Structure 1
Amino acid sequence: MLKCDSQTYKDLELEKLQDILRDYCIGPSALKIVDQLKPVRNNEELIKFLNQTSELVEIRREGEAFPRLEFEELNSEIKMLPVQNASLPQESFARIRLASTMVNALLYFFNKREADFPQLYELLENVEFTKEIIEKIDTIFDKHGKVKDDASPGLLAIRQQMQSLKRHIHSAFDRSMRKLLKKGYLSDTKEGFMNDRRVLAVLSSYKREVSGQVVGSSKSGNVTFIEPGETVPLNKEYEQLLDDERKEIFIILQGLTREMLAYLPLIKNYQQVLTKLDFINAKSRLALLLDANKPSINDDMVMEMIDCYHPLLKLNNEALGKMTVPQRISMDKESRMLVISGPNAGGKSITLKTVGLLQLMLQCGLLVPLHPNSKMCLFDSLLTDIGDNQSIVDELSTYSYRLKRMKHFLNVANENSLLLLDEFGTGSDPDLGGALAEVFFETLYDKKSFGVITTHYSNIKLKADKLPQAVNGCMLFDTETLNPLFRFSTGQPGSSFTFEVAQINGIPKGLINKAKSKLDRKKVKMDELLHELQKEKSYLNRLTKEHILAQETAEKHRLYYEETKEKYERKLNSLKNKAEETSKLVSLGNKLQSYIDEYKVGVKKKNVNAPLMQDVKKYIAKEKSKIEEAKQEIRLKKQAKKKKNKPNKTVNEYRQDKIKVGSKVKLIATKQTGEVEEIKGDDVTVLLGFARMKVKLRQLIYISN
């Protein structure tokens, strides 16, 4: 398990991702998991959680019709069901029915997909497809969730009485209203509705003229609401019937509760499956929001985060319409201490926080925003010292706080620790603090820890250059404009650009030269060297980009040339074929014309043209033979091609002769597996999960009996 203290969670702002997850949760159980989100204890369990989320993300990205997660948790129902003589409220049955429908839909979705999504399918191993719960509830409730009239004979009789009595009440009320309306005792509104009963809106000056029960008056007092005397006893009788209805419904629901008790283990499993899936769904929606993926996780302590970015930075930039520059960060046992330097506001701290937050997300079971070909490993502890954490309450300065943190790190850090130290060594005298920081750096290095460190100290940069398993890196700047590029580069330390930034901000050159003269010449020389190196690197990067662009352009033109050449060759071949056909037709025409010219007309001698006709017949026979030979050649080529494309599988190789009722078979076309239910001649009925399908015997592959 990854060990982190509360300060690490605060430094890396995990709570902001928790806020997003909370918005995606449906029930309180998933919300509770989000509130307690911590690194997963067991690495095997962590891999399972990551795979579950990754599978659901794949389903969403592929656009498959995954059941919409709509359910209410069943904790109160699970507690109430075992209570003797208990009766669940009506809404509880609606929740149980919804959960059963939801789980059935999930089972139907994953049927035939267990090989594609094994981790999600495993969630459903303790539930089964059943319509019994739904059917029992539907026997009692209608589609609006009301208890049906025929839920019991007693309820049907009571409701019939209620309907009859209601008609009497309305009839009596309407008679009274018409009578008083003729007398002019009623206000313009004529009637009202109070305490679920119709009442007369009587002008207050006539209220003593109307028999009945006063139930209220208007705000002005001008209208008095009276229940007519004819309906008072009828309404009391109706109240008694309502009480009888409530008692009968209680008895019905009590009986249905006893029936549901038999399904209590399944209902408990419904609760477990749906709440787990609720949390997995929230994680998958966060992954889709961040375009996150599951990297490959190795035991060799190798980190290669390709196109990674800080999730909170990306969300903020998207809201502002700005682009987020992805980074590539690599670390392994041979380059386990990464020292990042460069000017302020260039992105050093963000790069450090990106490594930390992505590692924390991964070990909390969340997918991380990077390319899926990336590699990550698992650490035992994540130790951070980021930002100004001085405490007025504890009377700690920034430097005192950092020394206390460093003391803790020196005690607990080991080869399975990842340290994130921002502005390493600051808070004290630069020379003295730098010397102490260098000693801390060497000590942590000797403990074989992994670390990402940002610093301005030259001695730390030099130490990283000398130690074989440490490496320098920097955030790139445009050396012309001194604007940050927010791109990380490994292999060399970064210049602080202190004097260049001062000059571009209008500080006189004389003051800058005076400041330079006060520095150790070696330090100035080193900063100038770093500046030149970064300038040369920027120039080389530009040349590389131009070279790549030129290669891409050349390749594009080469492809265009190849396509054009092929097109013209096809046209040339087509023209050649047409020329040959035309030449052949001309030759035929000339031959026929010669026969026509030789044909003798008007000669009385018998059979004078017989020899000529014999030549014509021979010529036609010869040409016909050539045509037949050409057709035969085409037929043979087609047969050879058909034979070549014909599958090698034979009936015997598919073992279709072994197929009988009860055999396990596979559809050749769709690769679905099922069981033979019925065979009629060449027609076979196959049970595929919940569906039946009639297919021909030749469409199946025998698997086993």
Structure 2
Amino acid sequence: MNKRSLRILGFYQVQNMLVRLAPSRLSKEIARRLRPVSDADVIAKNLTDTEEAVRCLQTETSTPFGGIVDIRPSLEKAKREVTLDSHECIDIWNNLQHYGEIRSFFAERGADYPQLAEEAEVIGDFSQLAHSFAQVFDNNRQIRDNASPELMRLRSCIVELERQTKRYVNNVLQNKEYQKYFQDALVTVRNNRYVIPIKQEYRHAFPGIVHDTSASGSTLYVEPLAIVNANNDLQAARIGETKEIERIFRRLTAKVQQQYSDLYESTKCVGQLEFAFAKGQLALKMKACRPAVPKTRIIKLIQARHPLIDPKHVVPNTIIIGGDYRILLITGSNTGGKTVSMKTLGLLVLMHQAGLFIPVSESSELPVFRDVFSDIGDEQDISQNLSTFSSHMKQLIYILKHCGPDDLILADELGSGTDPAEGSAIAIAILDAFYKKGAYVMVTTHYNDLKNYAYNTPGIENGHVEFDTETLQPTYKLRIGAAGSSHAFSISERLGMPKDILEKAKDLRSKAQDMDMEKVLTQLNAQAKKMDEEQAELEYRLREARKLEDDLRKEKDKVTSKRQDIIDASRRDAVDLKRNLRVEAEKIIRELKAQSKVGTDREKAKAIDKARRAIQQISLPEAAKPQRDPIDLSKLKVGQQVFVNNLDSVGTVEDIGAKQLTVSVRGMTVRVKSKDVSAPYLDELKKEKQAEKKAAAASSFRPIRTSSVATELNVIGKTFSEALPEIERFLDQALAAGFSPVKIIHGKGSGALRRQVHAFLDDQPFVKKYQLDDVDGGGAGVTLVYF
């Protein structure tokens, strides 16, 4: 891949971002070596690594990466049989533990991340080697006392010798004969030997060996002759300990040497996996995705963003090259974003072919290119006598010699730096040569001749960057399909150019031959902008409508499913209820039959009464009734139809009282409270009319008017069994007529009939309460019944 393009387009800056995200020296090294490639299979594999890493980072709560050390230098030492030191052994042991975690992580998730799991299979099983290190080092990374039998013996011996030596030194310190010699009555260590600080003037009076002096020279550190042998024994034991530790490290080094190849390959594999996850982190940071590779070589980058521009300020653009045209000519104002659009395309191509996700929308497509050539910026070289034009020409000549049909060419300000007429001619000839070579090209220019050439030449398309003439500011939006104006006058005015100079320049420009074309371009661009805005609005509304449609479809599916569940549950409940009713009815019938064969009339009446109460207790469970709309009483009129909630039926209003309404329900007149009626539904009104017509045609029944319903019943002189049918009929008619309270006249007598009537009323669910009438109304001989 062209190194100049990597530098100019900013690939190294993206690479530095990746290096900072890499967690270890291994992965940072791989990131620094990263370069775009042109092999489609290698690119696809690298992108799949990134894709699986992104999915893993988004799905898993944690990943087993971090804490890996580059142990390759230590492995090379072990290969050459150079004994490893303590730090190197600990680094290898740490890595072995991480290798096992990474290996297990991907082994358990092979179905979720198949390519990364396959790569992780290279990591070897080093459990035995890790166990060997664990026998030498404890959890604090210190050498265990029992790392070997000899080390345990030597360390025990050192502890005992230190105890004895300290005891000898304390004996010397406690000797009264030597007290005046001591600078301080304490024990210290010099050259790994216990010594005592002695005053300088007593150096010849105190028997011992001088090992050191203080900075001022007033204190000597003397080893008493009495403990020389004890120090010698202690030093010998310590030397033995050091040699034993070296022997242990040689043994560990030999084990590492035996598995050198597996350890080296595993280390490289872990570095590659870490690098893949660094790419995943970069993709998430950029909100990037993987574009599709099209079968027909077409560049379609939707809402592409330059990755090196602050996301808060970057303007997304759609770049399409291919199909009907392979050369895109970008025109427009200076500082309007032409070069940024070109660099965005080039950098995203390089990132894609380096296995990185790019900041575009998911519907984007990007083919694989053999190379990317760029001629962007002014690189004139004074030492080589190269002007701006010469520098551009030198680079373009190089590109013309090396480019081919699978290359991407980016050229900024093509033909600039010389006479406009000659520059335009050379630029057109170069574009024609690029087209014949089959390359994909994106160029910028201000020349009108090139705009005309693009309009009149198949395979070349115009594009421009927008400029807001009202605010005199560029919008940085790229529009493909029409050329744009340079807006030199507007920009000069915004920068403070004197008005008289601008007026003179405009007058001269108005006399130019191509002035009409500038006006046409301005009008076309304004129309194109308006159409794009309308299309964006239509697309937004279409997305909202589709979203609403999907929501409604899901809601409908939920309602349908719930409705079926309710129907199934109701059917099961109905079957169970039918079965229970049948059982209860059969039980009551059997009891009545058995009672009819034997027993007196009174016993038969009691049996019938008992059966009646049993049937009344068989009731359907009340279902939760839906909330209905209340009636506006101020607008209610006689003759209006209402829904009576308690009767679950539609009726007609016959009279409107202060607190009660008189309503006719299918020929039966009832009095109800105003709060117990509500507005009927349309389908309920239709059903009521159909039911009335059907009833009128099938029956000659005429309802009892309220004028024919009595409000009191006299059963004095009758037995309870004789009075019961009359009481039941009387209560049914009074209830239907809406009368409350009504009177049952049973007389005083012995009180037996009154008690039986009261017992009967206790079992009636429609009776709200009952009480004896006052003295004027009959007292204990009359019972008032309230519904």
The interval holding the TM-score normalised by the smaller chain is: 0.7 to 0.9
Q: How far off is 1:97 after superposition? A: 2.5
Is 1:583 the counterpart of 2:573? The answer is no
- 1:278 aligns to what? 274
- Cα distance change, pair 180–222 in 1 and its aligned pair in 2 (3 A): farther
Q: Which of 349, 358, 379 is matched with 1:368 structurally?
A: 358
- 1:76 aligns to what? 73
- 1:629 aligns to what? none
- 1:97 aligns to what? 93
Alpha-carbon contact 2:124-2:263 (below 8 Å) kept: no
Alignment of 1:213-228 (within 5 A): 213-228=209-224
Q: Deviation per CA, 1:104-136, whole angstroms, max 9, x where unpaired? A: 212322234212211101112233556322222
Separation in 2 of the partners of 1:253 and 1:589?
109
- 2:231 aligns to what? 235
What SS is found at the alignment partner of 1:310? coil
Alpha-carbon contact 1:494-1:530 (below 8 Å) kept: yes
Q: Deviation per CA, 1:567-607, whole angstroms, max 9, x where unpaired? A: xxxx994226997653359999989xx99977655434463
Q: Which of 411, 419, 423 is matched with 2:401 structurally?
A: 411
Alpha-carbon contact 1:479-1:538 (below 8 Å) kept: no
Q: Which of 155, 166, 169 is matched with 1:170 structurally?
A: 166
Alignment of 1:99-138 (within 5 A): 99-129=95-125, 131-138=127-134
Q: How far off is 1:141 after superposition? A: 2.0
Is 1:610 the counterpart of 2:606? The answer is no
Q: How far off is 1:497 after superposition? A: 0.6
Greater shift in the superposed pair: 406-415 or 204-213? 204-213
Q: How far off is 1:205 after superposition? A: 3.9
Separation in 2 of the partners of 1:403 and 1:430?
15
Q: Which of 436, 453, 465 is matched with 1:475 structurally?
A: 465
Separation in 2 of the partners of 1:306 and 1:191?
79
- 1:7 aligns to what? 4
Q: How far off is 1:188 after superposition? A: 6.4
- Cα distance change, pair 180–551 in 1 and its aligned pair in 2 (3 A): farther
Alignment of 1:685-700 (within 5 A): none
Separation in 1 of the partners of 2:413 and 2:723?
114
- 1:401 aligns to what? 391
What SS is found at the alignment partner of 1:312? coil
Q: How far off is 1:55 after superposition? A: 0.9
- Cα distance change, pair 218–499 in 1 and its aligned pair in 2 (3 A): same
Separation in 2 of the partners of 1:545 and 1:13?
32
Q: How far off is 1:486 after superposition? A: 1.6
Q: Which of 200, 203, 219 is matched with 1:204 structurally?
A: 200
Separation in 2 of the partners of 1:498 and 1:541?
25
Q: How far off is 1:297 after superposition? A: 1.7
Amino acid aligned to 2:335 = A
- 1:523 aligns to what? 514
- 1:301 aligns to what? 297
Amino acid aligned to 1:611 = P
- Cα distance change, pair 357–196 in 1 and its aligned pair in 2 (3 A): farther
Separation in 1 of the partners of 2:187 and 2:152?
31
Q: How far off is 1:360 after superposition? A: 0.8
- 1:574 aligns to what? 627
Separation in 2 of the partners of 1:223 and 1:453?
84
- 2:263 aligns to what? 267
Q: How far off is 1:46 after superposition? A: 1.6
Separation in 2 of the partners of 1:556 and 1:442?
47
What SS is found at the alignment partner of 2:461? strand
Amino acid aligned to 2:12 = E
Q: Deviation per CA, 1:15-69, whole angstroms, max 9, x where unpaired? A: 2222222323344443443333222353212211111012112211234321133
Amino acid aligned to 1:575 = R
Separation in 1 of the partners of 2:373 and 2:285?
28
- 2:579 aligns to what? none
Greater shift in the superposed pair: 21-30 or 158-167? 21-30
Alpha-carbon contact 1:479-1:534 (below 8 Å) kept: no
Amino acid aligned to 2:222 = I
Q: How far off is 1:328 after superposition? A: 1.4
- 2:347 aligns to what? 357
Alpha-carbon contact 2:292-2:366 (below 8 Å) kept: yes
Q: How far off is 1:12 after superposition? A: 1.2
What SS is found at the alignment partner of 1:522? coil
- 1:325 aligns to what? 315
Which of structures 1 and 2 has the bigger CA Rg?
A: 2
Amino acid aligned to 1:574 = Q
Separation in 1 of the partners of 2:222 and 2:319?
82
- 2:502 aligns to what? 512
- 1:455 aligns to what? 445
Q: How far off is 1:405 after superposition? A: 1.4
Alpha-carbon contact 1:191-1:200 (below 8 Å) kept: yes
- Cα distance change, pair 150–561 in 1 and its aligned pair in 2 (3 A): closer
Separation in 1 of the partners of 2:260 and 2:14?
36
Identity fraction in percent: 26
Is 1:289 the counterpart of 2:279? The answer is no
Alpha-carbon contact 1:190-1:202 (below 8 Å) kept: no
Q: How far off is 1:548 after superposition? A: 7.8
Separation in 2 of the partners of 1:188 and 1:509?
94
Amino acid aligned to 1:583 = L
Alpha-carbon contact 2:195-2:222 (below 8 Å) kept: yes
Q: How far off is 1:277 after superposition? A: 1.6
Separation in 2 of the partners of 1:293 and 1:556?
23
- Cα distance change, pair 589–26 in 1 and its aligned pair in 2 (3 A): same
Separation in 2 of the partners of 1:193 and 1:526?
96
- 2:565 aligns to what? none
Q: How far off is 1:323 after superposition? A: 2.1
Q: How far off is 1:380 after superposition? A: 0.9
Q: How far off is 1:275 after superposition? A: 1.9
Amino acid aligned to 1:524 = M
Report the aligned-residue RMSD.
4.0
- 2:782 aligns to what? none
Alpha-carbon contact 1:479-1:535 (below 8 Å) kept: no
Alignment of 1:7-46 (within 5 A): 7-40=4-37, 42-46=39-43
Amino acid aligned to 2:65 = R
Separation in 2 of the partners of 1:532 and 1:253?
83
Alpha-carbon contact 2:332-2:446 (below 8 Å) kept: yes
Separation in 1 of the partners of 2:23 and 2:547?
51
Alignment of 1:488-567 (within 5 A): 488-519=478-509, 521-538=512-529
Whose relative contact order is higher, 1 or 2, with alpha carbons under 8 Å and at least 6 apart?
1
Q: Deviation per CA, 1:352-404, whole angstroms, max 9, x where unpaired? A: 11111111111122222222331111011211101011123333222222212
Alpha-carbon contact 1:99-1:270 (below 8 Å) kept: no
Q: How far off is 1:419 after superposition? A: 0.3
Extract unaligned runs of 5+ from structure 2: 554-623, 632-642, 650-659, 672-705, 734-762, 764-787
- 2:590 aligns to what? none
TM-score (norm 2): 0.68
